[in-house]
A and B are shown apart, each in its own frame.
Chain A
């Protein structure tokens, strides 16, 4: 087979006979899930990190179980478990309140699943970052009579940010790539629509390479922004690498 007949660029066009629009829609879904999951994970992570550092013994152990399980079980398995168990549990809880079963949108379920997985990782990242804040700074804040929430808002969170940003940016990149796993539960994000497009048109290489280019572009653009954020967060630091 000749090389030029292998590539039919028309398949990537945005309108109906081409699959470009479908691919971009899937890409948009992927980004939405990544953003939502990362944000949810960050919220869980802040809570988890503070619980692990300042919580009671029972809370600490429960959080330890959470992070251990998430870090020891493959994401694919966790996604399946959370996807089925999460929707099932929600419907059972709703049934208790005599509300009929609801159809949980794939988007919400995806964000929930990715968020729970990311939460465990960001707990660890943020815990390390908070521990890196010099204790004297927090003591000084307490000596000024600041309440715990004010210490958190004014000292701990801003001071830990430079330490947390490398880990968090890695987590963001992991989140964008973990969205691909939702293809296995049938959510139409980029990887799944790519496979559908490829399966329909038999142009496997073209579509998978196109999707790869989209993912790569997302990563590279993210890296540019991460660099900017990192420079901003480290602006008060001496240049010592």
Chain B
């Protein structure tokens, strides 16, 4: 597996259309056709269930976003040491980090999630020490397992990215820092980490978009995110297409917003030349 997992896969800022590109004759025709399609969908399909479920859908979107950002932040905090020890660490840290990345990246996220939820979830109640601990009220819920699985997965993919980023920081910059008399920690904090993050930023953003696409998996372990709300709608209204189309639209909007936000964020970081 190469580091550039997300290069072609993730939706990146380059894929966004520009405002001017819409005013081409064939695009105007296509947009009219699309508009007619949207109107047909709105008129001929059943949407009367929508107002009833709107508040729940809002909560679901919120849960999905909380899942996304909490696991992305936690995962990134884990990924920095995982990437770092693979570049400079001693073998007894390097080896487990490498094994962690390989194992997590080599197995499906759904399986990891179910392993944590059903496997560990069935194991924990057998230990009285855990049942009596303060953690037990949380461990009986589903969301900690969802957060754990998503965090671990993000950390593994990011750890690999950060390994490449740490290794790719030019050696001269680190030598210059040493020549200035910086200690190891200062050098890491001021030079190595910021430069590595800068290098990895496009990939990190791509991974975050991919992470958004992984969040609906937590619905399979009874976390009520937007996907679970839509599943509920489908069960209660016996509709097949309408809820799924809405769900696809919601995720497209979320991806679009995320990508636009990342682009403004990336543009604010000064770069020199090309």
Instruction: Mark A residues whose CB is within 8 Å of B.
Output: 1, 57-58, 61-62, 68-69, 71-78, 80-81, 84-85, 88, 121, 124-125, 128, 166-167, 169-171, 173-174, 177-181, 183-184, 191, 194-195, 198-199, 202, 204-205, 208-209, 211-212, 215-216, 219-220, 223
Contact = CB atoms under 8 A, between A and B. Distances in A.
Contacts of A1: 126
Contact of B111 (A167, A202, A215): A215
Given A169-B1, A212-B115, 7 more contacts: A128-B7, A170-B2, A181-B110, A204-B121, A208-B111, A212-B103, A223-B1
A167 B10 CA distance: 12
Interface majority SS (helix, strand, loop, mixed), chain A: helix
Q: Which size bracket describes the interface of B in this complex?
A: 35 or more
Contacts of B105: 219
Given A73-B251, A77-B244, A220 B115 contact: no
Nearest to B244: A81
B262 to A, nearest CB: 14
B110 A85 contact: no
Interface majority SS (helix, strand, loop, mixed), chain B: helix
Interface string B233-245: 0000000110011
Contacts of A72: 11, 251-252, 255-256
Interface of B: 1-2, 4-5, 7-11, 15, 24, 26-27, 30, 102-103, 105-112, 114-115, 118-123, 126, 212-217, 220, 227, 240-241, 244-245, 247-248, 251-252, 255-256
Nearest to B7: A167
Given A71-B10, A191-B114, A216 B2 contact: no
Given A73-B251, A204-B119, A215 B107 contact: yes
Contacts of B8: 121, 124-125, 128, 167
B106 to A, nearest CB: 4
A175 B227 CA distance: 22
A75 B4 CA distance: 20
A76 B103 contact: no
Contacts of A71: 9-11, 15, 255
Contact of B252 (A73, A166, A171, A211): A73
A177 B108 CA distance: 5
A77 B216 contact: yes
A208 B115 CA distance: 6
Q: Nearest 7 A-B pairs (CB), nearest first? A: A180-B108, A219-B106, A208-B115, A124-B8, A74-B213, A72-B255, A205-B119
B78 to A, nearest CB: 20
A191 B108 contact: yes
Contacts of B123: 204-205
B120 to A, nearest CB: 8
A218 to B, nearest CB: 8
Contact of B251 (A74, A84, A204, A215): A74
A73 B213 contact: yes
Contacts of B30: 58, 61-62
Contacts of B252: 69, 72-73
Contacts of A177: 107-109
Contacts of B106: 173, 215-216, 219-220
Contacts of B212: 74
Contacts of A85: 240-241
B247 A204 contact: no
A6 B128 CA distance: 16
A74 B110 CA distance: 13
Nearest to B122: A204
A173 B108 CA distance: 10
Contacts of B5: 170
B26 A74 contact: no
A200 to B, nearest CB: 12
A61 B26 contact: yes
Contacts of A208: 111, 114-115, 118-119
B108 A73 contact: no
A121 B114 contact: no
Contact of A57 (B24, B102, B109, B255): B24
A202 B126 CA distance: 13
A57 B10 CA distance: 24
